[in-house]
Amino acid sequence: MGPRPVNLPGTRAVSRCAQCGTVLQGMPSDEKCPKCGFELHSCKQCTYFDPGSRFECMQPVKERIAKKDARNECTLYEMRVTREKETSTPASLRPNDARAAFENLFKK
């Protein structure tokens, strides 16, 4: 028979607001968060933001940007994108009612 196949959930690439955690799919990086109004073109939203690095940036910047949550014109800015696990079942695979879900449990 062999080993059982691993049934791991898939992953997806998402950008989230650094302030409130709202998913920012398809939003340009020069706008504000639709939920909290946080500036998306800021250091805290950048891929290279690192509080432990010099000037809190992993790139070689010449001077420190004082306000990390305010809009800036940094040319090295890239919106942070993370990989998250798909934890929900797609709507196309969900049963329409509870009885159908119960019957699907015992199907062979």
User: Chunked in runs of 10, what are the mean pLDDT values of the chain (108 residues)?
Assistant: 66 82 74 83 86 87 84 85 74 68 75
pLDDT the model gives residue 68: 82
CA 16 to CA 8: how far, in whole Å? 23
CA 54 to CA 105: how far, in whole Å? 55
pLDDT the model gives residue 25: 76
pLDDT the model gives residue 104: 77
pLDDT the model gives residue 12: 77
pTM for the model stands at 0.61
CA 16 to CA 84: how far, in whole Å? 11
pLDDT the model gives residue 27: 65
